[in-house]
Amino acid sequence: MSAANSQPRPSMRTVVQGIIDSQQSRALVQPAAGRAPLLLRVKGTLMCEEYDERHELRVMNCAGGMQAAESFDEYMQVVVGEIVALRDAVLMFFPPDPAESEGNNDHVLLSLWHEGLRSVLAHLGVPWPLGEALECVDIRDFDGLDDDRDAVADIDTWQILHDAMDRLTERCMGNTIDTYKLLGAPHEADGTVETHQDGLCWAVAVEGKFEQDFGKECDPEYEPPLPVWGRGSLGQNY
């Protein structure tokens, strides 16, 4: 270790714990009681295994309590906000070592990033396939991002998720030929996970709002334009 970096670095576990402990300080969601749970539903067949699962999408409010996300937009803003907090911490606590080559520094940075990202997503309880896809978010996706809250609220979370799913597909192609797609309708969010022989659908909605034939069939050729998400409740009210 060079003299410039002679101070001992914290472990990634310590850095992640700091992000977890400070999560309430970044929370912008106002407390709301009695809200219907927002569900991620996964249904279909993948690798010859049948799926029909529901997972609640919950967020921390500014009082430190957990509650149902008002929308998928709000949920993604909260999750991506915590990923950005990880980005800021990684860059602060693990600066490049001037004694090392750029390539070595990049390798160390990306290794630390992926370790921390898995831990943050696990703490947030992001369900599959969203969690697996978001593990492919690149720290460089946030290059040039200001550290103020308005800048974080303006992040195009739909594009972040879309790009992450593309990377996950590229990672999986050599093994199971899994293809991860983000679609645009008819629920708050829709997507598919497919192999060469089967596939499943996932969607986000409140109970009772899922299409009647959801999960029975998915058309791999159907790719509507990506919707343009606004800043949602975070940007409008807080």
pLDDT digits (tens, 9 = 90+) for 198-221: 888 999 999 999 988 887 554 455
What is the end-to-end Cα distance of the chain in Å, rounded? 44
Question: CA angle, 214 as apex, 222 and 73 as ends, to 5°?
Answer: 75
How far apart are alpha carbons 21 and 82 in whole angstroms? Answer: 12
Q: Please list the residues that pair with 52 across neighbouring strands.
A: 43
pLDDT digits (tens, 9 = 90+) for 131-140: 999 999 999 9
Q: What percentage of residues in the chain have a pLDDT greater than 70?
A: 83
How far apart are alpha carbons 129 and 112 in whole angstroms? Answer: 22
pTM for the model stands at: 0.85
Structure confidence at residue 175 as a pLDDT band (50, 70, 90): low
Two structure tokens written together for 94:
């693990």
Q: What percentage of residues in the chain have a pLDDT greater than 90?
A: 65
User: What sign does the CA torsion over 173, 178, 140, 117 have?
Assistant: negative
DSSP 8-state symbol, 42: E
Q: What is the pLDDT of residue 199?
A: 87
